Structures are given as C-alpha cells and as structure tokens.
Structure 1
C-alpha cells in the first residue's frame, strides 16, 4: 500500500514565513499590492521587450547611419585634401547629410578625457562608439555634453582633426518618451483609481468594525448606513438587524423580569403586613420571618440586576478617579479601612451606574472578608492586532482576607457560586458582566497584602 503524500501547504507556509513581514497588514495595502504587483510585472516585461529588442535595433541602425556618414566624409577628405575640394565636401555634407564640419589642419586630438554619460539607461553612446570604430577606423572622441542639440565627434586624420556636429535627432527618436510616459502614466492612473476605490471599500469595512466595537461596549450609535460593495452592504444590513434583535431581546428580558419582580414583591409585602399584625408574644418569630422576607427581597433585586446587566445605560465621558474615590468613601462608612492610590483625574467613556455597581460588589466582598483594602489606578498602552491603538486603565482592589484558592478563582465568577455564607453568588458575576460590557474584563489574582486581588481592566 502506497503511503499517503504529505500536503504541500505546511511546506509552502514554512518557505513563505521569512517574507511574511514584507506584506502589508491592512486590507487596503494588500488589495493595492494584489492589483499593482501584476501590473508592475506586466509593465516590466513590456519595457524589457521594447528596450531589449526594438529600441536596441533602432539605436544600432541610427548610430550606424551617422557613423557611416562620418566615415564617408573622412575618406573623402583623405582622398581630396585640397582646400577647394574640402569646402565642396563641407557644403555637400551640410546639405545632404545634415552634418556641420570643421577642420583643424596639423592639430592633434590628444587623449580623450573621461566624460559623464548623457543618458545612462539608453544604449546610444555605446552604439555610436561601436559604429564609429567599425566604419571610421581612426582615433575619435565623442562629446554629448557641450551642445544640447548636437553630438560633437572629433576624428584624428593624418592631416589634422575633423570636427563633426551631428544632430541628436539623427540618433534619438521621440517615441521613447511617449512609451515611457505611457508606462508611468498608466501605472500612476491605475494606482490612483485603485487606491480611491479600495479606500472607499475599506472605509465601509472600518465603519462596520467600529460600529461593532462600539455596540459591544454598550455605546448607542444607531444603525449604520450600508455603503460600499454589495457584500459589505449586506454585512452592514445584517449587523443592523442583529442590533435590533439584541436590543429587542434585552428589552423583553428586562420587562419580563421586572414584571416577575413586581409580582413577587406584592405577596412579600402582604407577608410583611401580616407579620407586623401578629399578636403579642410572637415578636421573636416575627423578627426572624421578617429577616427572611427582607433577604428574599434583596435576592430578587440582585437577580434582576444580574439579568438586566445594566445594558440600557449609555456610556458618557466620566472621571473614573472621582467614581473610585466615592466608592471608597462609602466603603469606609461601612467600617472598612480603605486606601486609594490614583492620579488626579482620569476621564474615559463609562456607564457610571453600572461601574458603580461593579466596584460596589467587589468592595463589599472585600469588606466582608478583610480588614484592609487597597485600591490602585494605573494606565498602560494597548496594542492588539485588529484594534486601534489606545490605553488600558487598570483598577486593582487588594485585601488582606483569606482569599480564594487559585484553582477556584475562575469558578467564583459563575452565577450562584458563593464561597461564604450570606451571599447570593452573583456579585462577581455581575461585576464581570459589567466590565466586559465596557470592553474590559476582571481577573482574580493573589494580593500582595496576603488576600485576594481583583484586577479590573477597562479600555480608555
């Protein structure tokens, strides 16, 4: 039995890993890369075909024509050295060959100096020099810099130095400019069109992502306007429908639980009245039963707050330091020793009532199990893939109580889980629900004071 071949995908992924950092991380950059990379390859192939084929052939032919004319004039001057014949050759060359000639009798050209290239990307100079060596056969020098409209060629003849001014138009053709302009222009035009089009598409996706994050943080932004491509519009419409369904579900759940709470409080109120009207001698039993009724009312209020999740409150810029200070003062009034270490001010979007309940639940748990409580506020940078850069605000609440074993800390956040008598087991569950509704979270850790640390993290 033949072994099953291993898939190539892990191998290709391993080979491409070193180059992955070169790829853009954003959708706009990757889309433009997908569009422009094939275009640049195509333009490069076209340029190579033109430059390496057509341009090279044309350049050699033009250079050969000029070199042949110079060689013919040099040969005529050698065969007819008289001044009268030389003047006739100069006139005929100017009229028929478009060459301006001058002759220095008895002069020597000397060693040619090093000249800078006129246009390094073109083969014109090399082709002309090669053609002159083949068709003139005498020492020569070319000057491409002195005259912007002509190429000056000096040829060392036995009788002196021949100066030839050949028009550049005989060696260079304007279609090259048109070809380069076409390559660069079409690339820039396609890049601009693609960038504008893809920017609009990416803007619609970013708006959808921002709306989803704001909705997750409990900020009421209303329905988003569908725009962009058909798929993005479909996603925006689905997101709006999802918002409406979630809001309708929350409203229905809150109204139902409010009705249940009202229906349960009515018989509890009658029980209170009945207990108050008991005859003399039953005060002890009545007091115990009244405490049970009060405990039932507190449990109903707690269950309602947990189910509601404070989801109807809207976020607004608030001073977190002021809120923490206020909660610390309330905890001190209940008999706890609370110290706070925080900056002067820290404003960020908050659901104030919800966060007050979150801090109150944690501080109340700490007050019931510890003598000392320390509250601290710090900030740190936030850098996560797919999310905009920002800051994290950290709230730490430490106590010197018995704490919770490490294996049971996550269990403490589950509803109806209580590690002490007298609690409903919903305090930490409500606190985490509120923190996550703000886009943060809560974790339980070991405290430097020896007890438990509640670490609240909120986005700023």
Structure 2
C-alpha cells in the first residue's frame, strides 16, 4: 500500500475502475465475443454444407463446378474441388481462436473431417474431406471475426486513462492544501515563521488550517505572557534587592553580613536564571546561517575565556535556525563540559538521516544513566560529582538548552562519550 495521501486517494479511484474493466472485459469476451464468433463460424460452415449438398445433387462434373461457382460468387467464398485428394494428418495449421471456432462449427454443421489454415493474413482456408476428394474454400477473415472486440477494449482503456488523468489532476489540487498545512506546521515546530499561510481546499482542510492558526496564536500569546510576567517579577524584585545590598554595604563588615550578602547574590543569580529560561523563547527570527561558521565563532570566544576545545567540523552546513538561541544552547553544553573535562572538550558535527548532530564530548566523571532525565528538570541539581558549581547555578542550564533546541524541532540527548565522560548531542532537523 502506498503511504502518501495522494497515492492512496488515487488508488481508491483506480482499484474499482480497473476491477470493473477486468470484469466487463471478461464478460464481453466470454459471452459476447465467443457467441458472435461462434455464430459467424456456423454461418460459414452452413454455407459450406449447402455447397456440399449442391455438389452431391449435381448430375455431372460440369453441373458440380457450376454449382460451386454459383455458391462461391453469391457468398464471396471461392470454392474449388480437388478430386481424389486426401487430407493429411497434420490437423489445423495453427491453433488460434479463429481456427478452433471454425473447426468446431464444421464438425457440427458439415460432420466431415476438415482442416483450417488461417496463416494467410486476410483469408482463412478451409479444406473439407469428401468421399471422392477435397473441397477447398477461401473465406475472408472478416466473416469469422468481429473487430468490435478490439475497438471495445481500446475505447474502454483509452477513456479510462483520460478520466484517470483528469481525476489525478483534481486530486492533486485537493491534496496541495494538506501539504501546505503540513509544511506550515513543520516550520512552526522548528521555530520558523509560517508566513502568509491562507486556509484553502475542502471544508475539512480549511477547518484544520483555521484551527492550526488559532493554536499558533494561543501558543505565541502564552509565551509572550509568560515572558512579560517573569520579566515584571524580576524587575519588581530587583528594586528591593538593590536596596538591601546598599543597606548591608553601609552596615560595615561582619560574618553575618557576609552571609546575607551571599544570599542576596544567589537570589540575584536566580532571577537572572529565570529570565534566561523564558528569554530562550523570545522573538528572535529564524534565518539561514552556516552552522560551521557559528560554531567556530563560539569556539573562538570559548578559547579567549581560557578554555580548551577541539573541533571536528565539515567544510560547511547551511541551516535555517535562530543563531543566538542555538549559539546559547551550544555555549551552555560546552561550558558545562569544560567544568568537568580533564583535558579539552571535543565538539564535532555530522549529518545523519535528515538531521544535523552536534556532539559535545568530555572525559569527565559523566552522569549515571538512571539520572540522565533528571538533569533536564528545572531547578534540579545532582548531588554527585557532576553537580554544577557556583552559587548562582540553580539547575536551569540543561533545561534552557533543551528548551531552545526543541523550539527548533530538535532535541538534546545525553549519553556515554567515546572519551569516557559525557556526550551531549544536539539533534536539529535539516
């Protein structure tokens, strides 16, 4: 069975039509053609039987020849008698439909041995064994076979082909709005702009397109509201935090004050992380960029900050994406790997099965397999050796990274690295 909607719809039209043609053709050939051909052959055999009767009733050879000439001229069937001749034992020269039908008719109407030879193009030769010789008859093939059978098949097949072509064109026009809807949904899932998408097609397809546009508006409105809400919360909390920092700075130095200042710094870092989490779904537009150039720029910035990184990249890989968002996701993974790598971080890119795979490998302690999904949960920090350092780390790094990548229709996967540590893989659809 075909998998595409157009092919399946066309098959629904073609299958009954072909089945109907097969049944109609079989019924025509089995009933009409065989009946017509049998009656035509019986008519010719009847003419030969009449000629034999006239031959037997004639008084002498002259009368016999006159009877044969008269019958042959009237029936457009030249007759000739070969005296003292005997039929061979070869039977019919060719076992065709015409010869078999004619042989059956001669046996039924004439009741004498006969040979049929239809190898001579437009004429069929019939030889009938008589007691004192052989009667030869040359019959036009048109008298034994109806050409309407071929005309019927040709007209049926030709008209069906024309109708199927017209139906295919109309069906393709009906499928095209479904393809446009699927393309729009795919672009939206990858975080790209849908553009001027207009509902078209049948009523059900228009309804699905309208619901898709409404869903897109609801999702965008929800993202915008969440971003604005957290931005407002952050702004409202920064003011009292700033006042507290000033008041603590004016009180002098003590152990308790230093602990309070550290708490304030941690709270400020948490607010920054909250904003970073929602800013990943912000309003950056997708554009076509060279992923290799983007990664090389990120690697250069990482080296300037004192980190070591090894690249294994193709010459070029152009993709449609949000460069700042993907750059931030890669930077998060590279920075996290750099904290635990004993030597350098290895970043490689490859394409596989219609996707671009960005691998970030390190030779650090890694993450236990049963805790891989745990690290993607918001505000989740592991207590093992892989725990993030720093007071401002609130467990949103990998959550933000996966959120950014999934906004492009991809995903982030964690697993065992060939270097012995952790492999973080960003999979993006091409």
Q: Normalising TM by the smaller chain, what interval?
A: 0.7 to 0.9
Query: Aligned partners of 1:320 and 1:201: how far apart in 2?
Result: 37
Q: 1:454 to 1:213 in 2, by over 3 A?
A: same
Asked which structure has the greater RCO (Cα within 8 Å, sep 6+), the reply is 2
Secondary structure of the residue that 1:318 maps to in structure 2? Answer: strand
Q: 1:253 to 1:426 in 2, by over 3 A?
A: same
Q: 2:102 aligns with which of 128, 137, 140?
A: 128
Q: 2:275 aligns with which of 288, 304, 328?
A: 304
Query: Which residue in 1 is equivalent to 2:142?
Result: 169
Deviations 1:411-446 (A, max 9, x none): 100011122342111100011111212222111112
Query: Which residue in 2 is equivalent to 1:55?
Result: 33
Q: 2:4 aligns with which of 16, 20, 26?
A: 26
Q: Choose 171-180 or 59-68, whichever is displaced more.
A: 171-180
Aligned residues of 2:92 and 2:116 also touching (Cα < 8 A): no
Query: Aligned partners of 2:402 and 2:93: how far apart in 1?
Result: 78
Q: Does 1:434 align with 2:408?
A: no
Q: 1:397 aligns with which of 360, 363, 368?
A: 360
Query: Which residue in 1 is equivalent to 2:176?
Result: 203
Aligned residues of 2:277 and 2:396 also touching (Cα < 8 A): yes
Query: Which residue in 1 is equivalent to 2:348?
Result: 376
Query: Aligned partners of 2:231 and 2:94: how far apart in 1?
Result: 90
RMSD of aligned residue pairs (Cα, Å): 3.0
Shift, 1:68, TM fit: 1.4
Aligned residues of 2:29 and 2:149 also touching (Cα < 8 A): no
Aligned residues of 1:139 and 1:156 also touching (Cα < 8 A): yes
Query: Aligned partners of 2:303 and 2:428: how far apart in 1?
Result: 25
Query: Aligned partners of 1:168 and 1:379: how far apart in 2?
Result: 69
Q: 1:98 to 1:52 in 2, by over 3 A?
A: same
Query: Which residue in 2 is equivalent to 1:344?
Result: 315
Query: Aligned partners of 2:157 and 2:27: how far apart in 1?
Result: 16
Deviations 1:250-270 (A, max 9, x none): 233333333333344444555
Q: 2:115 aligns with which of 136, 141, 144?
A: 141
Shift, 1:319, TM fit: 1.8
Secondary structure of the residue that 1:24 maps to in structure 2? Answer: coil
Aligned residues of 1:253 and 1:308 also touching (Cα < 8 A): no
User: Normalising to structure 2: TM-score of the pair?
Assistant: 0.87
Query: Aligned partners of 1:332 and 1:322: how far apart in 2?
Result: 15
Shift, 1:289, TM fit: 6.6
Q: Choose 427-436 or 333-342, whichever is displaced more.
A: 333-342
User: Normalising to structure 1: TM-score of the pair?
Assistant: 0.81
Deviations 1:280-327 (A, max 9, x none): x64998887766555544432321221233342232222222222222
Q: Choose 72-81 or 92-101, whichever is displaced more.
A: 72-81
Shift, 1:73, TM fit: 1.5
5+ long unaligned stretches in structure 2: none
Q: 1:368 to 1:138 in 2, by over 3 A?
A: same
Q: 1:80 aligns with which of 58, 70, 74?
A: 58
Shift, 1:341, TM fit: 1.6
Q: 1:115 to 1:311 in 2, by over 3 A?
A: farther
Q: Choose 240-249 or 76-85, whichever is displaced more.
A: 76-85
Query: Which residue in 2 is equivalent to 1:6?
Result: none
Deviations 1:215-265 (A, max 9, x none): 100110224222222111111111122122222222333333333333444
Shift, 1:67, TM fit: 0.8
Query: Which residue in 2 is equivalent to 1:184?
Result: 157
5+ long unaligned stretches in structure 1: 1-22, 382-390
Q: Choose 25-34 or 261-270, whichever is displaced more.
A: 261-270
Q: Does 1:456 align with 2:426?
A: yes
Correspondence 1:270-419 to 2 at 5 A: 278=250, 282=253, 295-372=266-343, 373-381=345-353, 391-419=354-382
Query: Aligned partners of 1:246 and 1:315: how far apart in 2?
Result: 17
Query: Which residue in 1 is equivalent to 2:16?
Result: 38
Secondary structure of the residue that 1:220 maps to in structure 2? Answer: coil
Q: 1:116 to 1:307 in 2, by over 3 A?
A: farther
Query: Which residue in 1 is equivalent to 2:80?
Result: 102
Aligned residues of 1:250 and 1:308 also touching (Cα < 8 A): no
Query: Which residue in 1 is equivalent to 2:219?
Result: 246
Query: Aligned partners of 1:116 and 1:258: how far apart in 2?
Result: 95
Deviations 1:316-365 (A, max 9, x none): 22222222222223333333332122222222222110011101111111
Shift, 1:116, TM fit: 4.6
**Matched length:** 422
Deviations 1:167-223 (A, max 9, x none): 233223344344324532453344334323332222222221121111100110224
Aligned residues of 1:64 and 1:128 also touching (Cα < 8 A): yes
